[in-house]
């Protein structure tokens, strides 16, 4: 099991969150996640929290455009359980695999707020695991990092049979990006840690078509990245949910996974995606 529980921030009102916002924002920039506990946020208050953090994380929604379209969703994972036959996954096994959100989108979600409106299962069930991919980047040698900085990736958005949209052309992005909010380098590799031309591949190297040797080297470094996310417990963090927890998470940096042990009627949250720019969230 992961060694590091993520500390929660006790809070007793929406007003106290607003008053302490500078400290909360600094904590968010430092650890890419803030978890508020002790107050039941309404959905309207959750949206306002998303906007307030958007002012500092350079995402939409933010307070500069108060009436823009948002992308809310309700999640109890029933659809995943039914579609992928994932009912009855034990609490110590992965229910949702490690992933990075929306990398195949041209306007990806780079953040979210998750409001756990119902949580009636035991606290050791339905936990969410996190790894900061900047921490993974720091494990690579200077030579490896230099190689990856020359790589441009082609990525499709796909959750296999759960993906109902057809994407004609992949989204292109750099394998290594400097993230403005944290001022740290991040490895932006495959969302579902698969390597094939149907989901994710090396599009170019140093602004030209990659050689076979460069493709092989890239794949080897991708697996190093994957192994550290999935197996390096020194990097993994865990959140053990309680009802009414509100998470503000940096999805540009946080790979995450969900453990099993819960039924859909026991665990349900309301989510708001936060995007890099205004406009359509997909392609």
Residue that wins the pLDDT comparison between 100 and 190: 100
Res. 198: pLDDT tops 80: no
3 or 186, greater pLDDT: 186
At 115 the pLDDT is 98
Q: How confident is the model at residue 126 (pLDDT cuts 50, 70, 90)?
A: very high
**89-93, 135-139, 183-187, 253-257: segment of lowest average pLDDT:** 183-187
Residue 155 clears pLDDT 90, i.e. is over it:
no
Q: Residues 257, 9, 27, CA angle at the centre, nearest 5°? A: 75
Q: Which residue has the higher pLDDT, 103 or 151?
A: 151
- Reported as a single tens digit per residue, the pLDDT across 269-280 is 999 999 888 766
The whole-chain average pLDDT of the chain stands at 89
- Written as six digits, the tokens of 105 are 């989108």
pTM, rounded to two decimals: 0.92
Q: Does the pLDDT of residue 160 top 60, yes or no?
A: no
pLDDT digits 0-9 by tens, 66-87: 666 778 999 999 998 998 899 9
Per-residue pLDDT band at 102 (split at 50, 70, 90): confident
Convert the pLDDT of each residue in 10-63 to its tens digit. Answer: 999 999 999 999 999 999 999 999 999 999 999 999 999 999 999 999 898 998
Q: Give the burial class of 195: count Cβ atoms within 10 A of its Cβ; 0-12 exposed, 13-18 middle, 19 or more buried.
A: middle
Rounded to whole angstroms, the Cα distance separating 173 from 106 reads 9
- On the question of pLDDT at 231 being above 70, the answer is yes
Q: What is the pLDDT of residue 1?
A: 53
Q: Under a CB-based contact definition with an 8 Å cutoff, are residues 65 and 278 in contact?
A: yes
At residue 162, the pLDDT reads 41
User: Taking the CB of residue 127, how many other CB atoms lie within 10 A of it?
Assistant: 22
> At 203, is the pLDDT very low, low, confident or very high (cuts 50, 70, 90)?
very high
Distances (CA, A) of 23 to 18, 180, 248: 10, 18, 14
* Phi and psi torsions of 48, nearest 5°: -65, -40
pLDDT for 212 beyond 70? yes
């Amino acid at each position: 099991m992961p060694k590091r529980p993520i500390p929660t921030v006790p809070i007793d009102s929406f007003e106290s969150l607003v008053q302490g916002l500078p400290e909360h924002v600094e904590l968010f920039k430092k650890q890419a996640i803030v978890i508020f506990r002790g107050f039941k946020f309404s959905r309207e208050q959750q949206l306002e929290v998303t906007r307030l953090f958007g002012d500092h994380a350079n995402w939409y929604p933010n307070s500069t455009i108060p009436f823009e379209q948002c992308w809310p969703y309700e999640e109890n994972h029933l659809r995943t359980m039914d579609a992928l036959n994932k009912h009855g996954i034990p609490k110590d096994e992965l229910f949702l695999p490690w992933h990075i959100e929306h990398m195949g989108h041209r306007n990806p979600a780079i953040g979210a707020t998750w409001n756990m409106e119902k949580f009636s299962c035991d606290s050791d069930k339905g936990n969410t695991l996190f790894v900061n991919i900047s921490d993974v980047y720091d494990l690579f040698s200077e030579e490896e990092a230099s190689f990856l900085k020359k790589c441009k990736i082609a990525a499709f958005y796909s959750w296999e049979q759960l993906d109902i949209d057809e994407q004609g052309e992949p989204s292109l992005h750099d394998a290594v990006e400097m993230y403005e909010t944290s001022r740290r380098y991040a490895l932006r590799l495959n969302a579902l840690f698969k390597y094939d031309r149907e989901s994710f591949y090396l599009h170019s190297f140093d602004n030209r078509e990659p050689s076979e040797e460069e493709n092989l080297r890239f794949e080897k470094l991708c697996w190093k990245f994957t192994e550290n996310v999935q197996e390096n417990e020194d990097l993994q963090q865990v959140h053990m949910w309680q009802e009414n927890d509100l998470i503000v998470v940096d999805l540009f940096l946080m790979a995450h996974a969900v453990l099993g042990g819960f039924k859909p009627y026991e665990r349900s949250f309301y989510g708001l995606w936060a995007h890099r720019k205004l406009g359509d969230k997909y392609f």
